[in-house]
Amino acid sequence: MEKKQSLTRDREKALKGFAMSMDGRLLAHLNSCVHCGLCAESCHYYLSTGEEKYMPARKVDQLARIYRRYHTVAGKIFPRWIGASDFNDQSIQEMVDVLFGGCTMCGRCSLHCSIGVDIPFLVRTARSMLVELGRVSPGLQSTVDAAVQTGNNMAIPREELVDTLQWLEEDLRMEVNDEKASIPMDVPHCRLLYTLNPREPKFFPLSISAMAKIFYAADESWTLSTHCYDVTNYAYYSGDDHTAEELTQRLFDEMIKLNAQELVLAECGHGSRAIRWEGPRWLKKKFPFPVISVIELIAGYIHSGRIAVDPSKNTTPVTLHDPCNLVRAGGVIEEQRYVLKKVVSDFREMTPNRENNYCCGGGGGQLSMGEYRERRVAAGKIKADQIKKTGAAIVATPCHNCIDQLMELNKEYSLGVEIKTVGELVADALIL
């Protein structure tokens, strides 16, 4: 039996947490990879760089080798034979480098895995172990901390948000020429509570205006909360379940406090996933209200005739980038296509698309991890090439994280395109 290296207290704690999280799903995925390596070409990091460390199967092994060492008989007796490894400085450093710095948890590899190994699930489990060691990338951790401490990940003071919303409201009134047009704040008993990505009030207020205009056209009963509105949950990316639960609970409590009927998630891929699909697991309860993406809401408005749109108002060729967390991991696949086909006259699909689409490179918390910027931009080349091939002049995407990455790719690869939210295109096509 090969003797295990001694463990520090925090490593013991991380391994204990790993053991505690080992449910049937984790066991199945940890034991299934056959190292066929066919997943390599599904990963935008591997495709862009050709570096073997980015092969998804290698990422699986970052965690599986620890599992084999501490949880299998063979791994305890002859670890080298089955590729088991101690939880030591080297394995931890490799985990940090590849699982934080070389993976967006986009899940494209899992979709095409010969076996069906849920690779982002394993990557996130490994990230959770790194949380215990305090090895989360500083940029990502500070984003999580800002959300916990200030209520939003960009640390926007409430007064600043209110000011922004007030001037946006004035603009809306002028645009629609109606003094009654509004951006409601903290109004109880509305039908919808609408969330925001803090990037919107900070950098992209026009996307808030666009949604306000759509709600106005639909004569919707809606409100924003100025206390708790952040749709993002970067603790999902860092692997910190405890904090992820806390952030979800705040939004849940705000819904109850304002007594809204439906929670509408802004155009944010990971936020939509975190709240709708992971949130109930973190809170260990069903939400007593429906949770939907704003894209589903807009599609419903158009389908039911609640808003009227004219595609001839958007004649520039438009393509669509599918955010991984909204599409592949969220099932909002056709709605944005339905909407775009109604509001633009020249819609062009990327290839591949829908659940097979490539990640833009901005997911997994990468945008907040400055130390991996070069890799992130290099990994985005696949997306840049996809965009170029469409010949479109506008890239629409229902995700503010993706928008940031696409804007950077736009500059880096000289794409010469405009990046917009779906809501902005809808607002431009509205018939009022």
Q: Are 231 and 223 a contacting pair, CB within 8 Å?
A: no
Which CB, 49 or 142, lies closer to another protein? 49
19 forms part of the interface with another protein (CB under 8 A): no
Alpha helices in 42-118 (DSSP H): 44-49, 56-71, 73-77, 89-95, 108-112
- Contact window for another protein (CB under 8 A) among 104-112, 164-172, 368-376, 390-398: 104-112
Distances (CA, A) of 423 to 27, 177, 284, 299: 41, 20, 32, 11
In this structure, the dihedral spanned by the alpha carbons of residues 290, 293, 294 and 296, taken in order and rounded to 10 degrees, is -90
DSSP conformation class of 262: E
| Least distance (Å) between residue 160 CB and another protein | 31
Kind and range of the H or E element at 142?
helix 138-150
Size of the site for another protein (CB under 8 A): 73
Contact residue for another protein among 162, 206, 331, 341 (CB under 8 A): 331
Q: Which of 4, 13, 112, 313 binds another protein (CB under 8 A)?
A: 112
Residues 115-144 that bind another protein (CB under 8 A): 115-118, 121
* Angle between helix 294-304 and helix 205-218 axes, rounded to 10 deg: 30
Q: How far is the CB of 315 from another protein (least distance, A)?
A: 25
How far is Cα 408 from Cα 412, in angstroms, rounded to an integer? 6
231 binds another protein (CB under 8 A): no
Residue 203 CB, nearest approach to another protein (Å): 29
Residues 282, 283, 286, 291: what is their CA dihedral angle, to the nearest 10 degrees?
-70
Radius of gyration (Cα) for the chain, nearest Å? 22
Compose the 35-54 pattern: x for residues touching another protein by CB under 8 A, - for all others.
xxxxxxxx---------x--
Task: From 147-155, 167-175, 282-290, 418-426, give the range in contact with another protein by CB under 8 A.
Answer: 282-290
Minimum distance between the CB of residue 50 and another protein, rounded to whole angstroms? 9
Complex with another protein: residue 116 or 391, whichever CB lies closer: 116
Q: CB of 44: closest distance to another protein in angstroms?
A: 13
Q: C-beta of 399: minimal distance to another protein in Å?
A: 16
- At closest approach, how far in Å is the CB of 432 from another protein? 18
Identified binder of another protein from the candidate list 290, 370, 391, 416, rule CB under 8 A: 290
Within 8 A by CB and 6+ apart from 53, the residues are 94, 97, 98, 102
Draw the binding track, 244-273, toward another protein (x: CB under 8 A; -: no contact): ------------------------------
| DSSP labels, 342-376 | HH-S-EE--SS-GGGPPP-S-TTTGGG-GGGHHHH
- Closest to another protein by CB, 61 or 169: 61
* Token code pair at residue 424: 């902005």
Q: Which stretch binds another protein (CB under 8 A): 73-81, 242-250, 252-260, 390-398?
A: 73-81
Q: Report if residue 55 touches another protein, rule: CB under 8 A.
A: yes
C-alpha–C-alpha distance, residues 263 and 282, integer Å: 17
Binding residues for another protein restricted to 334-353, rule: CB under 8 A: 334-335, 338, 352
Nearest to 233 by CA among 283, 193, 190: 283
Which of residues 74 and 256 has its CB atom nearest to another protein in the complex?
74
187 Cβ neighbours under 8 A, 6+ residues apart: 223, 258
Q: Are 348 and 318 in contact (CB under 8 A)?
A: yes
CA neighbor of 136 nearest in space, from 238, 241, 237? 238
Q: 180 to 219, contacts with another protein by CB under 8 A? A: 218
Question: Binder to another protein among 13, 306, 348, 388 (CB under 8 A)?
Answer: 306
Give the C-alpha separation, 66 to 54, whole Å. 18
Q: With CA atoms as reference, report the closest residue to 230 among 400, 402, 423.
A: 400
Asked if 58 touches another protein (CB under 8 A), the answer is yes
Q: Which is nearer to another protein, 7 or 292 (CB)?
A: 292
Minimum CB separation from another protein for residue 286, in Å? 4
CB of 430 to another protein, least distance (A): 16
User: By C-beta, is 273 or 420 nearer to another protein?
Assistant: 273
Residue given tokens 């790194």 in the structure block: 130
Is there binding between residue 94 and another protein (CB under 8 A)? no
Binds another protein (CB under 8 A): choice among 283, 378, 393, 407? 283
Q: Which stretch binds another protein (CB under 8 A): 31-39, 86-94, 169-177, 420-428?
A: 31-39
Q: How far apart are CA 319 and CA 359, in angstroms?
A: 15
**Residue 329 sits in the site that holds another protein (CB under 8 A):** yes
Question: Is residue 83 close enough to count as binding another protein by CB under 8 A?
Answer: yes
